[in-house]
């Protein structure tokens, strides 16, 4: 329930579906396990676990969703070896060259033949829509996985216009300034990790861990023209994170004091515990996102 990564998207129009309406539309794509010849299956499952039947959990204007993903594990080396063997046999038996179009067709045949015998791997991804603040927060470090979530949501409800947040002040330059000028706002504290990059596509990259980010070592790289691409921070003694220049919040770690606030709820009442944890977590995440925008000069118009 406690998100590990945050990719935030701004809703460009109010979300007006009720939890019941949204749940009904998500039910069109409830999760189904992969068929024998199916490489990938995506579908919605109850966010509060198997004890619940609801595909949407609503609390305080926030709608929690959970996407399950099952994929067949088919190593590329296995496919390549079988493809090479088949091509070699054709060229030897028929005395001709196998070209690209036929290679692709043969590869597809091999994949379809192997899929029924392949192992499966299942993962799950949470997200919540904050209908009051007009955000959706996806627990994904990868932009591709977040888009996969959003695309399936769009398929179910017809339209879901969102944008990545745009800020007035360039994140890399702003984060670099925090280290150079030592002017990070008081509710944030520097961690001990950063990634520094030289401008340009071919620029070098330096990764620092377990170091004082205000040390001479880091300062030397900054003076040489490198800029901060990622920076570890702690916020209000509530959580720590790694902030990236694309405004993705990675490796969130919530403070023990925050996570223990619901300890009085019996562990046997799993749904109540998850509901309470979601309320704490989502309140912290929404507040943090608003603070992050302020750090970079607010949202661009």
pLDDT digits (tens, 9 = 90+) for 127-172: 999 999 999 999 999 999 999 999 999 999 999 999 999 999 999 9
CA distance 10 to 66: 19
State pTM to two decimals.
Answer: 0.87
As a whole number, the mean pLDDT across the chain is 92
Indicate whether 90 pLDDT > 70. Answer: yes
CA distance 298 to 11: 16
- The number of angstroms, rounded, from the C-alpha of 123 to the middle of its chain's C-alpha atoms is 12
**Which carries the bigger pLDDT value, residue 9 or residue 83?**
9
SS (H, E, C) 81-119: HHHHHHHHHHHHHHCCCCCHHHHHHHHHHHHHHHHHHCE
pLDDT (0 to 100) of residue 81? 87
Indicate whether 233 pLDDT > 90. Answer: yes
- What average pLDDT does range 184-197 have in this prediction? 95
CA distance 171 to 177: 10
pLDDT (0 to 100) of residue 189? 96
Closest CA to 165 of 62, 237, 243, 252: 243
What percent of the chain is predicted at pLDDT more than 70? 99
- What average pLDDT does range 286-300 have in this prediction? 95
Q: What's the token pair of residue 125?
A: 């991804």
Is the separation of the CB atoms in 198 and 204 below 8 Å? Answer: yes
Indicate whether 1 pLDDT > 80. Answer: no
Indicate whether 255 pLDDT > 80. Answer: yes
pLDDT category of residue 207 using cuts at 50, 70 and 90: very high
CA distance 79 to 102: 15
pLDDT category of residue 268 using cuts at 50, 70 and 90: low
């Amino acid at each position: 329930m406690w998100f590990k990564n945050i990719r935030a998207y701004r809703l460009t129009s109010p979300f007006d579906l009720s939890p019941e309406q949204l749940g009904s539309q998500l039910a069109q794509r409830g999760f189904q396990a992969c068929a024998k010849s199916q490489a990938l299956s995506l579908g919605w499952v109850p966010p509060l676990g198997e004890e619940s039947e609801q595909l949407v959990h609503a609390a305080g204007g926030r709608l929690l969703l959970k996407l399950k993903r099952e994929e067949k594990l088919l190593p590329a080396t296995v496919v390549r070896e079988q493809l090479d063997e088949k091509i070699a046999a054709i060229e030897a038996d028929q005395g001709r060259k196998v070209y690209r179009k036929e290679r692709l067709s043969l590869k597809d045949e091999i994949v379809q033949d192997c899929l029924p015998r392949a192992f499966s791997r299942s993962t799950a991804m949470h997200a919540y829509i904050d209908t009051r603040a007009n955000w959706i927060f996806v627990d994904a470090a990868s932009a591709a996985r977040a888009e996969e979530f959003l695309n399936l949501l769009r398929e179910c409800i017809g339209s879901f216009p969102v944008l990545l947040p745009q800020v007035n002040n360039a994140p890399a330059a702003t984060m670099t300034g925090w280290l150079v000028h030592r002017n990070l706002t008081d509710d944030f504290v520097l961690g001990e990790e950063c990634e520094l990059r030289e401008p340009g596509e071919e620029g070098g990259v330096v990764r620092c861990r377990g170091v004082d980010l205000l040390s001479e070592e880091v300062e030397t790289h900054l003076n040489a023209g490198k800029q901060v691409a990622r920076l570890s921070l702690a916020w209000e003694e509530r959580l720590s994170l790694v902030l990236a220049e694309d405004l993705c919040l990675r490796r969130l770690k919530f403070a023990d004091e925050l996570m223990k606030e619901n300890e009085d709820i019996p562990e046997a009442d799993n749904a109540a515990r998850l509901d309470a944890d979601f309320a704490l977590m989502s309140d912290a995440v929404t507040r943090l996102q608003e603070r992050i925008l302020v750090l970079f000069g607010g949202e661009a118009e």
